[in-house]
Every structure is written in structure tokens, then in C-alpha cells.
Chain A
């Protein structure tokens, strides 16, 4: 199956600093990437959807100035948490999707990034 990587897997940062999380599709080109946030023992909350070369579409209630998403290529998307605060501590998961004529419709998920803001 398709492989999606995330880096870093775990990060601890101080309040007020910014953190960048990378999501890469390793063996396919992702026309769309999704960023989710997950709280303990809860479902995934979609934060935003990004298509390569265009601005991300944010879900209602997600601050676009705080969670900066860049989808510079068909294999890389980044999420930057700016001016992080303890309430931003969470598990962030990306997923990648390949659309087009050969779309199989499933999303492939990265292993997640555990962010802890102190």
C-alpha cells in the first residue's frame, strides 16, 4: 500500500514558539492532503484540506493564521503551528489522497506527530 511519512513523530516546544510538521507521500503523488487533530480516545477532527499549489481550505473554527498549511509539491505538505500554546498540545495526523482517473478513493495516513507545548 501507499506510504505516508510524518516528521517529527514527537516534539516538545515552549509556549510562544512555532513548530513545523512535515507530511510526505513516499511512493505516490498526492493531489490532496488532509490535516487532522486528534484528542485522546476521540475521533479525528479535520482541520484543513490542501491541494498542491493552492491555498488550503480550513474547516470552520480552525484559525488559518495559527495553523499554516503549505502544499508545495505533490509529495509534501507542511503544517506550522504558530505561537504555540499548551492548548495546542495534541496528536496531529496527515493523510494523502491521489485523485484522478486511477483514484482508489482511500486516504493514506501518516503515523502522526505528538505535539506537547510547555
Chain B
């Protein structure tokens, strides 16, 4: 079965510092990986995805993620954090079994950026 894990419930970082939000995955076959961000009482916003190609994927709002097949990881990164980046972040993998193509989400990581 496909799964993703986000080992950290919360990540704290000072504004201006680099940030990393971790994600590891377990899939059969080639992984289709995604990062989404959720602000309070809002739906999820798409940040970036890895389907194929370059291991370093660039996305919205200055975020990027690195696909590492040997470590089965897809960590989200940003060189310089902003206070406005504070939100709940979800890693997800697409599950093609059962013909529904549903997303399997990690448990989420709260990012807190302090001024």
C-alpha cells in the first residue's frame, strides 16, 4: 500500500533562515509526489509536484523539494523563511490502485516561522 510519513509534527524556524519539512514515502512503482499548504480554515493549496524528470522541483512561493529515490524522501525546502509561511504542510502520494487515483496524505507538519 502507498503511504507517506511526515516525521515532525512541528517545525520552528526563525525568519530569514532556511527551512526543511521532511517527507518519506513508500510506494510500489514510480511515485507521484505532491506538497500542499493549508492556512487556518482554508482548503489546501498546491505547492509543487514530482512526476518525473529533475530531482529538484521548484514550486510556488519560493518553495522547492528534492526527490531522493535511494532515501525514499521528498523534503520540502525554502532558502529563506517568511513569517507568512507559517501554516500546515502536507506531503502526499498518488495512489493509482483501485482506479481512483486518490491522494494519500501524510499527517501534516505545522511550520512556525518566528520574526
Segment at the B interface, from A13-21, A65-73, A74-82, A103-111: A103-111
CA distance A75 to B90 in the complex (A): 26
With both beta carbons as reference points, the residue of chain A lying nearest to B4 in the complex is identified as A43
B22 beta carbon closer than 8 Å to chain A: no
Q: Are B43 and A93 in contact (CB under 8 A)?
A: yes
Check A44–B102 contact: CB distance below 8 A.
no
Stretch at the interface among B44-52, B64-72, B77-85: B44-52
Residue of B nearest to A49 (CB): B100
- For A42, the chain B residues whose CB sits under 8 A away are 107-108
Residues of B within 8 A of A107 (CB): 46, 103
Q: How far is the CB of A58 from chain B (nearest CB, A)?
A: 11
Number of interface residues of A (CB under 8 A): 26
Bound form: Cα–Cα A41–B107 in Å: 9
Q: How large is the interface on B (under 10, 10 to 19, 20 to 34, 35 or more residues)?
A: 20 to 34
- Complex: chain A residue closest to B103, CB-CB: A107
Q: How far is the CB of B99 from chain A (nearest CB, A)?
A: 9
Tell whether A95 is near chain B: CB-to-CB under 8 Å: yes
In contact, A109 and B49 (Cβ under 8 angstroms): no
The answer on a CB contact under 8 Å between B100 and A109 is: no
Which residues from A are CB-within-8-Å of B98?
Answer: 57
Are the CB atoms of A1 and B46 closer together than 8 Å? Answer: yes
B positions within 8 Å CB-CB of A: 32, 34, 36, 41-46, 49, 51, 88, 90, 94, 98, 100-103, 105-108, 110
A-B contact pairs, 26 of them (CB 8 A): A32-B101, A34-B102, A42-B107, A42-B108, A43-B90, A43-B106, A44-B44, A44-B90, A44-B105, A46-B103, A93-B43, A97-B101, A105-B32, A105-B49, A105-B101, A107-B46, A107-B103, A108-B46, A109-B43, A109-B45, A109-B46, A110-B43, A111-B42, A111-B43, A112-B41, A112-B42
Known: A42-B108, A91-B41. 18 other contacts (CB 8 A): A1-B46, A6-B43, A41-B110, A43-B107, A44-B105, A46-B102, A57-B98, A95-B44, A95-B103, A97-B101, A105-B32, A106-B46, A106-B49, A107-B46, A108-B46, A109-B43, A109-B44, A114-B41
